Structure 1
Amino acid sequence: MNSAVLLILSVVWFAISYKWYGTKMERKLVEPNDDNPTPSVALQDGVDYYPGKAGILFGHHFSSIAGAGPILGPIAAVAAFGWGGTILWIFLGTVFIGAVHDYLSLMVSVRYKGHSISQVAEEVIGKRARNLFSVFLLITLILIVAVFGYVAANTLMTTPAVVIPTFGIIPLAMLFGYLVYKRNVNIVVGTIIAILGLFLLIYLGYLFPISAPFTGNAAFAFWFVLLMLYGLIASVLPVWMLLQPRDYISNWVLIIGLTIGVIGTLITHPPINAPAFTGFVNSGKGPLWPMLFIMVACGAISGFHSVVGSGTTSKQLAKETDGKKVGYGAMLVESVLATLALLTVSAGLFWKAPAGMEEFALFEILNKGGAIKAFGVGYGRLVEPLLGTFGMLFGVTMLKTFVMTTLDTTIRLGRFVTAELLGPKIPVLKNRMAGSLFIAIPAFYLGYTGTYGIIWPMFGAANQLVAALALLVVTAYLVGVKKPTKYTLYPAVFMIVTTIAALIYQGYNHLFGVEPNYVLGITAIILIILALIVGKEAKQILDLGKADDADLVKS
């Protein structure tokens, strides 16, 4: 298939789905009412609860959920199973599971005073569900901070040209926030100033690459410590001062990069040279089901999105009717990005490179430079008519910008979860800085020492269990307000079964495989037990849901 055809199909499919299925979810399940004051209005404190302009809030939410996930996951899935199954899961999983999960978890949080989805779990299901959810969230958030900090530090160390735009966006964002929120500067004018400033920063980075004043491990330590300090400080600043404007500007980086990528692909329109299907079993990754569904993650559904939606976005939603645009819409745009990422390696690079083109061989780049380098090189080839040799640097900078947004947003989210779960018993953790340190300190240790790698292979499963739990919480809420439950309950059951199957496969290999890893094997067993507990909760809600749906039919 031609890459341009697949890209056009994705844009058309997601646009239709937004109007069709997104509107269906809005009318049948949410029924937004702008006469109801949202938490950002009713509980405004100027720090965490602050009504955001719809466009800026979309930028914050999109920037926070996107990160590197929708790029790295599809690339790994294509390399393991081909592009056919990967794109089908992105298309179907996003519309019927992922976007529903994002939109409804956001709106349920809005209906519960902006509480995190784990706190809502206690109110609609019970304390056990809340504690289970919170444990999953804390583990997941700590791992995300550790890994994204590690990746960001390595990128700064190996690509000095991204240093100036990475850190220059901070004062630029604070200036934008001050002008728009405190000086009432027109948002269009402010956006133009910010975008011009950002591209100036990228150009300056290209002209004046900056390296750490050290080499080797000391250089990595320098950047890693600097990034963690940034994330810690940014997590306690008022959202209007840095979080909203920085994510809004970052959102434009990705929107512009995505637009350039789409136009570049339409111009170059290379054929997809990767196979659509490589087989039901990959020797290194396992069977297509369930592993592909765990591997793609953010490109189709991610539990982390419900944490963002209920952690920061619900506290900034100015009116309920903005929810579909921010929640459902952002997930669809993210999946267009996932489609582009798929094309960068299946069409921008070569599955088997012809003579003289070995530098663009997919597996050669993956083995030596990793998925980020593969995306940058493939993106550069797709947009070469527009950006020339600058394309690869722009692609890496685009990805790097979103790693930063995820870093400090995740520490802030961890602070919320910590305050809700442990704050009542340990009051000091209700303090903003103490709550952020509770997340940042273990994340710093795992990232700085590299020990995060021991349990990171289980992250995908834990993340999808969070998604299943979020869908169960939403389902319990729908039962309580007498709404149909099939739109969330069946996806939740599918994700639970898929995750348990993936954990059984991984756990068996780690315990009884050729190269056993008992830490990962035991971790898999623990997650299986927790997943079974989730399954028990699902059965209870399933029984309630069936009874509720039967009552709706009778009425």
Structure 2
Amino acid sequence: MITFFVCLALLLIGYATYGAFVEKVFHPDDRETPCTRLEDGVDYAPIAPWRAFLIQLLNIAGLGPIFGALSGAIWGPSVMLWIVFGTIFAGAVHDFLSGMLSMRNDGASIAEITGIYLGPTMKTVMRIFSVVLLVMVGVVFMVGPAGLLALLTPNVLDVKFWTIIVLVYYFLATLLPIDKIIGKLYPIFGICLIIMAIGIAGATIVNNVNGSAPMLEMTLQNLHPDGKPIWPFMFITVACGAISGFHATQSPMIARCLTSEKDGRRIFYGAMVAEGIIALVWAAAGCAFYEKTGGLMTGLAAANGGNSTTVYQMSIGLLGPVGGVLAMIGVIACPITSGDTAFRSARLTIADWFKIDQKDPKKRLALSFPLLLVGYFISFLDYNVVWRYFSWSNQTLAMIALWAGATYLAKFVSKNASFIAAVPATFMSAVSCTYIMMAGEGLGLSASISYPVGIVFAVAMLGIFLFKCILKSDTKTA
């Protein structure tokens, strides 16, 4: 229990201190924001800061901080260190820079932002990469909640039925103006999400106090029953609970709705810290809830980590039938409210790419329908395979977004300031490269080959950045 509270305190302190430092480095000002200059009543629409925070939290907090954190917990309490330090120094910095750079560039999508700061080739790569990722996110967050809803309606409504229902909702949320569904429902869902996390945390603490399910204290030992290495697998598996490239696709939506740059820290950095807390709660609860054999996380591994069944078992087991159902509603709200905005972001990315005006409902329909149709057919593939590809794509996109942020800071703020993004970008470069070299869904190479290649790739990326942005460029005015 001490580990949990120390980690929780570190997340809050990180927001208050490092978050303030990052904000000071970027220096938000009083310039006119995109929503006041480009208001169109569809995607550019002013939203109150408190509402924007809840929407941003729900946009980014899909299944990642729940399924991902539970899957990461198979390695043991060490996952909590990645959640804490990944959130403070990588994930929240990534989300803040993505949102603020979008505000500085008329609410541009992450692909367009990448093109501005990393060049046209990377813009094309990111356009394709982000649309593919967003569709996969939409699929993951379509099938996941459908499975959870099916567990609440056994022998009555199956997964296929709920998948179609979720898909219909996604269609409406993708097509309609942001303030018609998202702006009205998300604050309610946000409250459910927060209550759910508090309930799971409270029940886990009570079980620790009464001795029925002790919480694990920190150890760096690998507790994975199969001995799968922590590096890089745990860092990819946790995904949204520490850092997520998916967030870079979501932040521009809120960037188009803020009336002041000075709200950026509490909304972009703050929402990521809140997601880190949610991930911490589920990781700690998963470590305590499931049976251990010989000190290894055999119970959670046997349940295949984070999935619909484990979330259902934990919700009912910790909170009882009524509380469990309420917790499940909060969990279901997470992926649904990220899946719809994933498809919406895909629409906006394509619209930015081909300069398609989105005021016309027919043009929005022409983009939305094919995206959702493709997502529906992908939903028939093996969920676990789609999740693994989503996780790697997610972290790779985060790597690219961080390099774009570092380049901006080097050119428009100061060369020293750029390292708040360049350091985590280098780290994520090593993670992403090493994983795709080692993983079965990648090249499946040995650790003796994958580790050196991952390190060389990360060093090469850092070297290119240092040469182009530190040694050769001059600081300009943003």
Question: TM class, shorter-chain normalised?
Answer: 0.7 to 0.9
Matched, 1:324 2:268: no
Contact 2:246–2:394 (8 Å) recurs in 1? yes
State the alpha-carbon separation in 2 of the partners of residues 489 and 370 from structure 1.
31
State the alpha-carbon separation in 2 of the partners of residues 73 and 466 from structure 1.
17
Q: What is the one-letter code of the residue matched to 1:271?
A: P
Matched, 1:268 2:207: yes
1:82 to 72, 76, 81: 76
Matched, 1:31 2:53: no
TM-score by length of 1: 0.76
Contact 2:237–2:388 (8 Å) recurs in 1? no
Q: What is the one-letter code of the residue matched to 1:298?
A: C
Contact 1:145–1:443 (8 Å) recurs in 2? yes
| Cα distance change, pair 467–282 in 1 and its aligned pair in 2 (3 A) | farther
1:439, CA displacement in angstroms? 1.8
Contact 1:149–1:228 (8 Å) recurs in 2? yes
State the alpha-carbon separation in 2 of the partners of residues 259 and 115 from structure 1.
35
Q: What is the one-letter code of the residue matched to 1:308?
A: Q
Tell me which residue corresponds to 2:283. Answer: 342
1:381, CA displacement in angstroms? 4.3
| Cα distance change, pair 466–364 in 1 and its aligned pair in 2 (3 A) | closer
Contact 1:110–1:315 (8 Å) recurs in 2? yes
Report the number of matched residues.
462
Alignment of 1:48-87 (within 5 A): 48-79=43-74, 81-83=75-77, 85-87=78-80
Tell me which residue corresponds to 1:299. Answer: 241
| Cα distance change, pair 127–53 in 1 and its aligned pair in 2 (3 A) | same
Select the structure of larger CA radius of gyration.
1
2:153 to 139, 154, 160: 160
1:246 to 175, 185, 188: 185
Alignment of 1:36-47 (within 5 A): 36-47=31-42
1:322, CA displacement in angstroms? 0.8
1:314, CA displacement in angstroms? 0.7
Alignment of 1:172-187 (within 5 A): none
RMSD of the alignment, in Å? Answer: 3.3
1:76, CA displacement in angstroms? 1.0
Mean Cα deviation higher: 47-56 or 151-160: 151-160
Tell me which residue corresponds to 2:98. Answer: 105
Alignment of 1:178-257 (within 5 A): 211-212=156-157, 219-257=158-196
State the alpha-carbon separation in 1 of the partners of residues 330 and 124 from structure 2.
36
Q: Counting helix residues as a fraction of each chain, which structure ranks higher?
A: 1
1:542 to 447, 466, 469: 466
Matched, 1:446 2:378: yes
Tell me which residue corresponds to 1:188. Answer: none
Q: What is the one-letter code of the residue matched to 1:118?
A: A
State the alpha-carbon separation in 1 of the partners of residues 126 and 3 from structure 2.
37
Tell me which residue corresponds to 1:308. Answer: 250
| Cα distance change, pair 282–420 in 1 and its aligned pair in 2 (3 A) | farther
2:401 to 454, 470, 474: 470
Contact 1:344–1:379 (8 Å) recurs in 2? no
Tell me which residue corresponds to 1:518. Answer: none
Contact 1:64–1:406 (8 Å) recurs in 2? yes
State the alpha-carbon separation in 1 of the partners of residues 396 and 94 from structure 2.
12
Does the residue aligned with 1:50 lie in a helix, a strand or coil?
A: coil
State the alpha-carbon separation in 2 of the partners of residues 473 and 211 from structure 1.
49
Question: In the TM superposition, what whole-angstrom CA distance separates every residue of 1:74-93 from its partner, at most 9, and x where no partner exists?
Answer: 211221x211x211111111
Unaligned runs of 5+ in 2: none
Q: What is the one-letter code of the residue matched to 1:300?
A: A
Does the residue aligned with 1:235 lie in a helix, a strand or coil?
A: helix
Question: In the TM superposition, what whole-angstrom CA distance separates every residue of 1:178-218 from its partner, at most 9, and x where no partner exists?
Answer: xxxxxxxxxxxxxxxxxxxxxxxxxxxxxxxx934xxxxxx
| Cα distance change, pair 59–344 in 1 and its aligned pair in 2 (3 A) | same
**Percent identity, aligned pairs only?**
27
Matched, 1:493 2:417: no
Contact 2:36–2:259 (8 Å) recurs in 1? yes
Does the residue aligned with 2:46 lie in a helix, a strand or coil?
A: coil
TM-score by length of 2: 0.87
State the alpha-carbon separation in 1 of the partners of residues 425 and 9 from structure 2.
27
Contact 2:411–2:475 (8 Å) recurs in 1? no
